[in-house]
Amino acid sequence: MTVDRYIRVFAGLFILVSLALGIEGSPLFVSRWALAFTTFVGANLLQSGFTNVCPLAFFLKKLGVSETAASCAR
């Protein structure tokens, strides 16, 4: 997987988990404050769309994750 795909997977996973922990009807409900994490992830995605700066991308690149996918087409 590429950096962009990892970012999408992490963002989606974190949003779904924080919603499950923050919505009162959920069997995993902990606190409404868990929704603050959803806000943080959304704000980070918004700012990275405008600035092209993403902290997760920085760490993934340091870990050696590829920025481009190898093409299967010949």
Note the pLDDT of residue 21.
96
**What 3-state class would DSSP assign to 27?**
coil
> At how many degrees (to 10) do helices 3-22 and 55-62 cross?
130
| pTM recorded for the entire structure | 0.80
**Along the 74 residues of the chain, how does pLDDT read in single tens digits?**
899 999 999 999 999 999 999 999 999 999 999 999 999 999 999 999 999 999 999 999 999 999 887 655 44
Residue 53, SS3 per DSSP = coil
Task: Check residue 68 and give its pLDDT.
Answer: 83
Can you give the residue ranges of every domain in the chain?
A: 3-62
User: What's the sign of the alpha-carbon dihedral 47, 48, 52, 58?
Assistant: positive
Query: What's the confidence (pLDDT) of residue 36?
Result: 95
Query: Smallest Cα–Cα separation from 20: which of 29, 7, 11, 9?
Result: 29
Write down the residue that tokens 């795909």 correspond to.
5
